[in-house]
Structure 1
């Protein structure tokens, strides 16, 4: 009599446990690698974009003998109401700077006579309204600690630098840029649809005591308050952990 052997239709418990252990081991290897890859992509793209944005501003200045006008104020008015979609890191690195006639003059000489004002709740992609600067306009500036962290100063100086975003109504758009560049976020919480995601130009307006004759571009930073040096440092720290 011939006996037929039934085909096995399922894994045994031991086999399932072995498969699960393999999957857990693979996850332990792959999840950190994927996380590091996102971090490295963010850091490398930020460094590349900072350099490209800086070159665009410098090309504009060379071609038109002035800096682009109508850069974004990081306020919702000229009186000092913060744009509420700024990142926490940028808010911590900035402080209000109230212009005066002497400190507005360097900006005027450099071609910056008006800024783009966003209304409360505006995200990155909503255009600002061009608004003329006055002798009492409040802009965002770098805190002394942020100046040191970004490598601008060994000891920070109040009211020396002001920050302006490279938004869509900037005079650069259609000239040295096809469109205003957007920051590539590292996490979903920094989605440019919900936070301000433009690159930001840092201009020096005083020598630490007296106003400059002409404002000077000193740095491009991300909307998370990172510059070229800090971006490179972040990239190499992540890479060293691989």
Structure 2
């Protein structure tokens, strides 16, 4: 059994979060995804809504690690966290209560593969950011995962289908309906995905999404993508593609 489940809690971005099987255990790489989002919000003051902070949607919240980290670091932000798993929804509720962040997060059971289910997100207003660490393991690679992962963690949180892009394509197809002009999508992906996703976006000009940056993880693998909805830039500069791996925060 993974040590996180044995202990019943784990630290992520300095937060002590409850952990319980079969909810996906957040990995160290995902802390870098959070840091990139925070950098973008700090660099582009226009990434904010009328209440003074960004409105963020996390797709596949799991334990709530990403959503709650962003809330704790962005005091004026608000988050909508969605997941199709009942265990994940319950655990995110528990962790939000544990960290006294319940007043700024809405936790909603939602399956992103069901298009109609997104309709009830629209009343919350256009989003500034969509963030997701979706299932992205290529299906044929699932059997190569460590035994403790296969035995205890929810395979639905890992298996991304034949090319690892089943959920990613749903997120990208539906996000433009919810994002503001120049709103951003931040994804954690497989190192093979930047090229695949770039080609897929080129084949879908109707989505008006541009892959503007890719970033490597602390092991030097292309792991994170920044995709932006086309629109009036409002003085916000476009990122340069790629770039050197970021320095990992101490600890």
Confirm or deny a common fold (TM above 0.5).
no
TM-score tier (shorter): under 0.3
TM-score (normalizing by structure 1)? 0.25
Flag the structure with more relative contact order, 1 or 2, with Cα contacts below 8 A and sequence separation at least 6: 1
TM-score (normalizing by structure 2)? 0.25
Which structure features the higher share of strand residues?
2
